[in-house]
């Protein structure tokens, strides 16, 4: 069931919590993930949203796309704001001032709001053990401000602040491993999700909802605008990200790793890179100082990371 | 009337928060605010205060957590100083813009650099325009009373704004003073439970903090401006109620000797007690001098202030912060602006004193008076603009 990669619409609740008419770009994988995740979370959910794409496209006064309570404060503090909401409900429930019912407290942010400017507030909230879920919607750059690089922009990607040029192949650093950082806090649940694998996504959100304490969900969020790919390729690009091993789908429950969509036989990374123009310059790039082409370096890194993941799975299930 | 008890002012503030039955506290330790949060931690740990204390990793998160808690409908308190307030800067404006009734006790301390843990008003003056209601207190009793009152004022549906209570770091925060804590029954009678105007509630979903397009932003700010201006009435009513409850009377501008004074001191915070002592001494010697202590800083009580200085021929403004390269200290600039606006041709003599914990003695204050009196008699001031008291040359 969990490994089924086919989308079965009737398995999902019909209720929608993100209303139609929001201003997300055509083919946005992020809003698709938000929609699916909130279908699972349901109406007893309160969201603290960081500044970013999802904030601006869903909340331009006097319109709102949200059918659940939603609060936006600033860019770097969604986790701290969620800490406050969760604590308030804890004490108000204790004092009998609010009904005693289960509420999902959610903080959401983009890759910049999570891994760069918001990492301190996130670390604090994870460490304090609030009963909340942090969801990072990772579209791999500051898309809202015009495709500037973040610490989650992949190696070799050309962005407006890491452009490829005569002396640069684009982003020169490797993507920060946010899931490992979250896991290092000793939280009960962390996972990677991808809207191109909706059943896997749904199962992980359901599991996260059932666990008390801090949960970290890292969601691969396709961005045709920033990745420079056709908007009808969103799902295909997301599938290739997993099938090439670029974005493996796994979960870490109480320190135990499990690859939820195993890809022991992976497609070559070129298959993924060639779908997006942010990587176009890499495909014709020659060898670098270390004797490898950028594509070879990416392939090597992906294989190493995947092996490490398999090893962790093996070690924690021994 | 309750009993006067010797206690540290920081402890009295924490006890006031307890009496207010605060739900959520979020703070990060910084000298000289620490005793407030330490005592609150003890009250929570001992079960004397049923609250959630969120021990955050920075002041930015402290205020962010308060915003979340307040938006969820909890009575919320924080406390900080200097660099901590500066780190909160971004969220200060959001808290007031979202109209959340958070209460903050601010132990005034100078801003770095050079690093100084000691007292002045540079921290709060840098946040003058953050949209919070702002009070200055002179002593521990006021710090305690204003903390309880702050919740009532902030949570009034007509106001719905956050409140800062400025109390001087060390000079007040670490001082043991005779303080009367009101009884829990009196506070319960005075301060009803928090009924939020709007909150994050799954049975009535709301979008809070959306994007404000140009067609809306100006109107939102005007609504906020109206709310803070109109809060003056609520504050006055609150103080009347407090007087009936505890017998202590508060005014936006507290005065002594201003009725017949030619020269009036204008200042804020604990320094006003020293000035009052000096004024008493000088009046004993036949000098026509008074003091106006600005207790309510935002909204600025224009009419109250103008009435107080109606008969004055000269005003001495004592600032405890510099506006580098500006037309005077922050308080003096405002006073001069107000007088100009109202067509009042009153001479203003400006001093800046007590920066970074530098002591301001009765002798210093007397010296300010002598200089001002000389100017009133036609002597020329040594230099244009402000003079810094106690500057080593």
Asked whether residue A140 is assigned to any structural domain, the reply reads yes
Q: Per-residue pLDDT for B337 more than 90?
A: yes
Phi, psi at B214, each rounded to 5°: -55, -30
Please give the residue of chain A at the shortest CA–CA distance from B58. A121
Contacts of A211 by beta carbon, 8 Å cutoff, 6+ apart = A188, A189, A253
C-beta atoms of A85 and B69 within 8 A:
yes
pTM across the whole model: 0.97
Mutate which: A78, A82, A84, A93, vs B, most B CBs within 10 A: A84
The torsion region of residue B64 among left (phi > 0), alpha (psi -120 to 50) and beta comes to: alpha
pLDDT tier at A12, thresholds 50, 70, 90: confident
Asked whether residue A55 is assigned to any structural domain, the reply reads yes
C-beta atoms of A87 and B56 within 8 A:
no
Instruction: Supply the pLDDT for residue A61.
Output: 86
Contacts of A247 by beta carbon, 8 Å cutoff, 6+ apart = A192, A194, A220, A241
Rounded Cα distance, B117 and B136, in Å = 19
B209 touches A: beta carbon within 8 Å: yes
Q: Map residue B97 onto helix, strand or coil.
A: helix
C-beta atoms of B210 and A76 within 8 A:
no
| Contact residues on chain B for A55, CB-CB shorter than 8 A | 211
Closest CA to B235 of B302, B187, B298, B306: B298
Kindly report, residue by residue over A118-168, the tens digit of the pLDDT: 999 999 999 999 999 999 999 999 999 999 999 999 999 999 999 999 999
State both tokens at A257.
């790793």
Q: Per-residue pLDDT for B1 more than 70?
A: no
Are A113 and A122 in contact by the 8 Å Cβ rule? The answer is: no
Are A83 and A118 in contact by the 8 Å Cβ rule? The answer is: no
pLDDT tier at A1, thresholds 50, 70, 90: very low
Asked whether residue A1 is assigned to any structural domain, the reply reads no
pLDDT tier at A2, thresholds 50, 70, 90: very low
Count CA within 13 A, CB hemisphere, residue B42: 9
Q: Per-residue pLDDT for B36 more than 80?
A: yes
Distance from CA of B187 to the nearest CA of A (A): 18
Q: Map residue B108 onto helix, strand or coil.
A: strand
Q: Which domain holds residue A130?
A: 9-316
pLDDT tier at A8, thresholds 50, 70, 90: low
Kindly report, residue by residue over B50-75, the tens digit of the pLDDT: 999 999 999 999 999 999 999 999 99
As a whole-number percent, the residues of chain B with pLDDT over 90 amount to 95
Phi, psi at B49, each rounded to 5°: -125, 120
| Contact residues on chain B for A89, CB-CB shorter than 8 A | 72
Contacts of B217 by beta carbon, 8 Å cutoff, 6+ apart = none
Q: Which of A60, A95, A124 sits opposite B56 (nearest CB)?
A: A124
DSSP state of A75: S
Kindly report, residue by residue over A229-269, the tens digit of the pLDDT: 999 999 999 999 999 999 999 999 999 999 999 999 999 99
Q: Give me the CATH number covering residue A283.
A: 3.40.50.970
Mutate which: B20, B64, B101, vs A, most A CBs within 10 A: B64
Whole-Å CA distances, A82 to A219, B67, B275: 19, 9, 46
C-beta atoms of B54 and A128 within 8 A:
yes
Please give the residue of chain B at the shortest CA–CA distance from A86. B69
Instruction: Supply the pLDDT for residue A7.
Output: 53
Domains of chain B (ranges, CATH numbers): 4-246 (3.40.50.970), 253-388 (3.40.50.920)
Asked whether residue A156 is assigned to any structural domain, the reply reads yes
Please give the residue of chain A at the shortest CA–CA distance from B55. A128
Asked whether residue A213 is assigned to any structural domain, the reply reads yes
pLDDT tier at B379, thresholds 50, 70, 90: confident
Rg (CA), chain A: 19
**β B176-180/B4-8 pair status:** antiparallel
Asked whether residue A190 is assigned to any structural domain, the reply reads yes
How many domains does chain A fold into?
A: 1
Kindly report, residue by residue over B169-206, the tens digit of the pLDDT: 999 999 999 999 999 999 999 999 999 989 999 999 99
Asked whether residue A4 is assigned to any structural domain, the reply reads no
Per-residue pLDDT averaged across B248-267, rounded?
98
C-beta atoms of B58 and A59 within 8 A:
no
pLDDT tier at A60, thresholds 50, 70, 90: confident
As a whole-number percent, the residues of chain B with pLDDT over 70 amount to 99
Looking at the DSSP assignment, which residues form a beta bridge with residue B119? none
**β A104-110/A45-49 pair status:** parallel
| Contact residues on chain A for B70, CB-CB shorter than 8 A | 84, 88
Distance from CA of A97 to the nearest CA of B (A): 9
CB pairs under 8 A between A and B: 160
CA geometry: angle B164, B165, B171, nearest 5 deg: 140
Distance from CA of B173 to the nearest CA of A (A): 27
Asked whether residue A17 is assigned to any structural domain, the reply reads yes
**Over chain B, what is the mean pLDDT?**
97
Per-residue pLDDT averaged across B226-251, rounded?
97
């Amino acid at each position: 069931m969990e490994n089924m990669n086919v989308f079965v619409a009737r398995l999902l609740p019909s209720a929608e919590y993100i209303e139609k008419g929001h201003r997300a770009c055509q083919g946005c994988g992020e809003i698709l993930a938000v929609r699916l995740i909130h279908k699972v979370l349901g109406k007893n959910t309160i969201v603290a949203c960081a500044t970013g794409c999802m904030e601006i496209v869903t909340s331009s006064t006097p319109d709102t796309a949200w059918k659940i309570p939603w609060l936006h404060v600033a860019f770097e503090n969604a986790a701290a704001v969620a800490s406050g909401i969760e604590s308030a409900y804890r004490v108000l429930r204790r004092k009998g001032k609010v009904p005693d019912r289960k509420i999902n407290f959610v903080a959401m942010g983009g890759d910049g709001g999570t891994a760069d400017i918001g990492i301190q507030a996130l670390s604090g909230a994870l460490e304090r053990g609030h009963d909340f879920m942090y969801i990072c919607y990772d579209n791999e750059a500051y898309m809202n401000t015009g495709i500037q690089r973040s610490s989650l922009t992949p190696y070799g990607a050309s962005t407006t602040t890491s452009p490829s040029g005569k002396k640069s192949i684009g982003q020169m650093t490797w993507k920060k491993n946010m899931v490992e950082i979250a896991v290092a806090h000793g939280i009960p649940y962390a996972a990677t999700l991808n809207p191109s694998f909706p059943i896997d996504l749904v199962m992980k959100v359901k599991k996260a909802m059932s666990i008390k304490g801090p949960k970290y969900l890292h969601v691969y969020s396709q961005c045709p605008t920033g990745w420079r790919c056709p908007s009808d390729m969103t799902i295909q690009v997301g599938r290739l990200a997993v099938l090439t091993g670029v974005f493996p789908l796994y979960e870490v429950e109480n320190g135990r790793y499990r690859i939820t969509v195993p890809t022991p036989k992976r497609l070559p990374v070129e298959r993924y890179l060639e779908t997006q123009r942010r990587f176009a310059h890499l495909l014709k790039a020659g060898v670098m100082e270390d004797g490898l082409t950028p594509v070879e370096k990416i392939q090597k890194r992906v294989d190493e990371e995947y092996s490490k993941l398999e090893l962790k799975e093996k070690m924690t299930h021994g | 009337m309750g009993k006067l008890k010797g206690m540290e002012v920081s402890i009295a503030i924490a006890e006031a928060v307890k009496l207010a039955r605060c739900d959520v506290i979020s703070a990060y330790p910084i000298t000289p605010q620490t005793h407030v949060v330490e005592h609150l931690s003890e009250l929570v740990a001992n079960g004397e205060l049923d609250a959630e204390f969120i021990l955050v990793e920075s002041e930015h998160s402290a205020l962010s957590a308060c915003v979340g808690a307040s938006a969820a409908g909890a009575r919320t308190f924080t406390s900080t100083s200097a660099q901590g307030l500066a780190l909160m800067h971004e969220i200060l404006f959001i808290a007031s813009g979202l109209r959340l009734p958070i209460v903050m006790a601010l132990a005034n301390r100078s801003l770095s650099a050079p690093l100084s843990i000691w007292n002045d008003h540079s921290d709060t003056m840098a946040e003058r325009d953050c949209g919070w209601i702002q009070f200055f207190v002179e002593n521990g009793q006021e710090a305690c009373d204003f903390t309880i009152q702050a919740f009532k004022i902030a949570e009034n549906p007509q106001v719905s704004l956050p409140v800062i209570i400025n109390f001087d770091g060390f000079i007040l925060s670490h001082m043991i003073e005779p303080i009367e804590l009101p009884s829990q029954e009196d506070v319960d009678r005075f301060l009803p439970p928090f009924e939020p105007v709007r909150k994050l509630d799954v049975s009535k979903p709301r979008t809070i903090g959306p994007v404000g397009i140009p067609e809306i932003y100006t109107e939102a700010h005007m609504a906020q401006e109206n709310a803070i201006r109109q809060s003056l009435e609520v504050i006055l009513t609150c103080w009347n109620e407090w007087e009936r409850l505890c017998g202590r009377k508060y005014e936006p501008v507290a005065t002594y000797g201003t009725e017949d004074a030619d020269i009036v001191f204008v200042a804020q915070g604990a320094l006003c007690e020293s000035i009052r002592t000096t004024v008493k001494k000088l009046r004993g010697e036949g000098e026509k001098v008074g003091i106006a202590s600005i207790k309510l800083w935002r909204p600025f009580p224009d009419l109250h202030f103008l009435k107080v200085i109606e008969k004055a021929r000269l005003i001495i403004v004592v600032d405890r912060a510099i506006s580098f390269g500006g037309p005077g200290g922050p308080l003096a600039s405002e006073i001069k602006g107000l007088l100009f606006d109202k067509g009042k041709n009153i001479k203003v003599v400006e001093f800046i004193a007590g920066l970074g914990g530098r002591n301001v003695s009765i002798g210093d204050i007397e010296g300010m008076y002598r200089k001002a009196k000389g100017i009133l008699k036609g002597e020329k001031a040594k230099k244009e603009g402000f003079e810094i008291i106690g500057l080593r040359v």
